[in-house]
Homo-oligomer: A and B are copies of this chain.
């Protein structure tokens, strides 16, 4: 997997599924995943890991529940943002957005605790593309 370059845009062009990350690279015990977001994801939290988001294209709103207060951050193209471990969050993209995430290999997309998972959400640790 580490022997040749993998292009982010070409990978995004190769699938249309929403909320279903593809793994474009692995380093140490981490995955680099790209996914298409459109609509509302579910509230969920990763207990043991922070989650890095980078917006490849589009706009992403991440709702956060912090210390009993709810707020949201809006990420534009090229923005980086880290959701701290343990923080409940809910990504929302009014229009299709393409997102890169970095997290430990094996991390479930829906986290360790989450709302009921609807049919349109792929509960996965990511799909290999190479």
User: Interface centre among A8, A51, A74, by most B CB within 10 Å?
Assistant: A8
- Number of residues on chain A facing chain B (CB within 8 A): 35
CB distance from A69 to the nearest CB of B (A): 13
Contact with B along A16-58 (1 / 0, CB 8 A): 0000000011111010100000000000000001111010000
Copies of this chain present: 2
Which residues 92-130 of A have a CB within 8 angstroms of B?
102, 104
Smallest Cβ distance from A13 to chain B, in angstroms? 11
- Contact A80–B50 (Cβ < 8 Å): no
Of the candidates B2, B73, B80, B81, the one whose C-beta lies within 8 Å of that of A82 is: B2
Chain B residues near A84: list those with CB within 8 A. 2
